[in-house]
Structure 1
Amino acid sequence: MVELCIFWLYADPIRQRSVSTRRFFWLRLSRLYPLHLATLLLVAGLQWLYIRYHGGYFVYPLNDAYHFILNLFFAPAWGLEKGFSFNAPIWSVSVEILLYAMFFCVARWLPTRAVYALLLAMAGLYLQSYSVLIGRGVFAFYMGALVYVAYQKLVTGGLVYRGAKPLLLICLAAWLATLLEFQLGSLQVVLSKFCTTSCAGTGLEQLKALWVTGLLLPITILSLAVSETAGKGGWERTAWLGDISYASYLLHFPLQLIFFTLFADLLPERAIFYSSVLWGGYFVMLISSSLLTHRYFERPAQQWIRRYSIQRPRI
């Protein structure tokens, strides 16, 4: 959904020069960097405590000065790293920063058309041979561009109301097929007839990844966008989930680290972590802390940065 929003908000303004390079990147960084920096410092402090009391780092071991600097500059997934470090889920946002730079250049010089988006998505598949994370990001980002183009065609063609229900049915059928395949593994049987077991396993994982990122998720996002435009989904009531998505993504690991740092030695056995009660309590805490973080930290920090970096007159 992020890719659809980015293209919807910025593709035409960037090409028309109404959004400058400076403004675009400050808008994006003001959204992403404050919470990233806060959780980076939080995890660094918590890992220091954890190693003091437990003799080793929690989950991600590369918490040294070199990887701290990479994280500080949003670069822990640019191929310079030796592995995951600190608040490791930030790797996807690190790739996203590269994608923003790529998006700005492409949007400035090329119109948003399906053929260009498809070619760039295919380039992302090829790039995975050299960098899995970056290649995957490019592929997913420009599949999102294809969703945006399809959405625009439906809107300008007056097909939103007629297309909402068929798209929803296609989406449900795709999800049903996915769940059945993951449950029954019928594709594994077909592949095993043509190659060895290891080859079949590798090919199956690649096909599943391609199916999910290249078809299932784009169809789902397109269906949701069309349903919302047609006024049939009532999705405006769930807007808060989008608001807290970034906070919940960056807070889920620090919350685990806090809990283990404080209570790991007090628990009778690790099997308790599979408890549905504990799992439910963790999500209540995650959603609650994400709501508070978004309201009292993310938005104020974002507004402050935009006020002083974008709206301030340039001397």
Structure 2
Amino acid sequence: MKFQSLESLRGIAAIMVVLFHCPFVVSGQNTLISNGSLFVDFFFVLSGFVICFAYFERIQAGLPFREFAFLRLGRLFPLHAVLILAWLFYQTTGSSASVPGTDGASFLINLFFLNSYGLEDALYWNYPSWSISAELFAYLTFFLAVTLLRHALSTPVALIISAAAYGLLLIDNPSTIQRSYDLGFLRCLAGFFLGVGVYQLHSRLRFIWATPGTLSEATALLGILALISFPDPAASLELLTILAFSVCVFLFARSDGQIARLLCTEVPAFLGRISYSVYLTHALVFMVVTDVAVQMIGIPSAIIPPPAGQLRLFYITDHALALNAFAILLTLVISATTFRLIEDPCRRLSKALIRPRAPQPARKPAPAQP
């Protein structure tokens, strides 16, 4: 990835989502972690930025949709398919009552990335995959927008699309934009086109605007932490946080301050590389660890409402820190393995299969026989 500091930030955002999903607590989650689901919107904004960078000119130049779709599915589907089959295997061989989603229709909805369109009444199977389903919808919309609008897909147009999607979410539910199985595709579309607008602005200002430094980087990150740390966030605060995400993406795409340099070091870069694997594997790891811990220790459970208002099941224990740390470490080990064995090879294969063949030199005519 050209923007290394942004990829590292994606890895950190994935860790924040993992912390949000940690099942063990002593009494409850702190506010920063309990609002961690908002970091999914950082993924959406960053995805719009990166996809616009990678594909905008290629689509304008005539990249066929089948190749665009094949590249994106080659990046996303193989690991998703392996993990949902792992869920199915665990459910049919060693599952406990905590395993959600038991019918074939739900399995197919989740397998084929249809789990962000309101077809179900909750998140089932590998529940983080709803956002991948939503991203595929955003990719399709982006391809159509570039094909139809071409150079007219500027920052103002992208922001209009984003605002329209957020508006539809707020009309449906004015209290929050944090949707997943229920209109999650609109949430992604809004953040994605916000990222498209940020990239268009970045590409026009990169030669005429001073490069941000460490102070700008620190201000952006501290602003995000402050916004996410508010208890009981309203929709207006959620939107302000997403706006802060977009400012952060814009700054770090251009910055060379101390924080950006730190993000380009080995550990943050590694987290960025495996962030997709971390995002997709952690739910299954948490479920298995929870089942084992409950059976071995007999940890009691409790329903605790987070700030967004959706009830969640937690397991209360004085060993919460150790159990969560073990589950996260196991997630990182498994994610590094799935990245090396599944995600990266499939991404490379999909690129190789559609890479244009080099033109063959024309054969010279054979000399005439005397």
- Which band: TM-score by shorter chain? 0.7 to 0.9
Give 1:81 deviation, angstroms: 2.4
1:174 equivalenced with 2:223 (yes/no): yes
Question: Residue in 2 aligned with 1:249?
Answer: 279
Q: For residue 296 of structure 1, what is the amino acid of its counterpart? A: L
CA separation in 1, counterparts of 2:165 and 2:244? 18
For 1:304, the equivalent position in structure 2 comes to: 349
Contact 1:273 1:279 in 2 (8 A): no
**What residue is the counterpart of 2:163 in the other structure?**
122
In the other structure, the counterpart of 2:111 is 72
Structure 2 contact 274–336 (Cα < 8 Å) conserved: yes
Matched, 1:280 2:319: no
Alignment of 1:134-173 (within 5 A): 134-157=185-208, 159-161=209-211, 163-165=212-214, 167-168=216-217, 170-172=219-221
Q: How much is the aligned-residue C-alpha RMSD, in angstroms?
A: 2.6
1:232 Cα shift?
5.5
Residue identity (%): 24
One-letter code aligned to 1:46: Y
Which of 40, 50, 65 is the matching residue for 1:5?
50
**Contact 2:118–2:183 (8 Å) recurs in 1:** no
Deviates more, 1:236-245 or 1:3-12: 236-245
> Which residue is 1:190 aligned to?
none
Whether 2:74 is the aligned partner of 1:30: answer yes
Structure 2 unaligned runs (5+)?
1-45, 173-181, 301-315, 358-370
1:124-164 deviation digits (Å, cap 9, x = unpaired): 1122145541221111111111221232133132x242x34
1:30 CA drift (Å):
0.5
Q: What is the CA distance between 1:172 and its match in structure 2?
A: 4.5
Q: 1:125 to 1:175 in 2, by over 3 A?
A: closer
Residue type at the aligned position of 1:119: I
Q: Distance in 2 between matches of 1:223 and 1:86?
A: 37
Corresponding position of 2:92: 48
Q: Does 1:86 align with 2:125?
A: yes
Distance 1:304 1:152, change over 3 A: closer
Residue number in structure 2 paired with 1:239: 269
Aligned-partner Cα distance in 1 for 2:356–2:287? 39
Q: How far apart, CA to CA, are the structure 2 residues paired with 1:32 and 1:273? A: 38
Q: What TM-score does the superposition give when structure 2 sets the normalisation length?
A: 0.69
Whichever residue aligns with residue 132 of structure 2, its letter is V
Q: Which residue of structure 1 aligns with residue 20 of structure 2?
A: none
> What is the CA–CA distance in structure 1 between the aligned matches of 2:344 and 2:250, rounded to whole Å?
28
Match of 2:5 in 1: none
Deviation at 1:253, TM superposition (A): 0.7
User: When the two structures are aligned, how many residues end up with a matched partner?
Assistant: 283
Q: In the alignment, which residue of structure 2 is the partner of 1:207?
A: 236
Offset of residue 34 of structure 1: 0.3
Change (3 A) 1:9 1:229: farther
1: CA distance between counterparts of 2:253 and 2:335?
A: 24
Please list the CA deviations of residues 161-184 of structure 1 after superposition, one character each: whole Å capped at 9, or x if unmatched. 2x34563254146236526x71xx
Amino acid at match of 2:223: A
Measure, in 2, the Cα distance between the counterparts of 1:144 and 1:4.
4
Separation in structure 2 between the aligned mates of residue 36 and residue 220 of structure 1, nearest angstrom: 29
Distance 2:75 2:335 in 1: 15
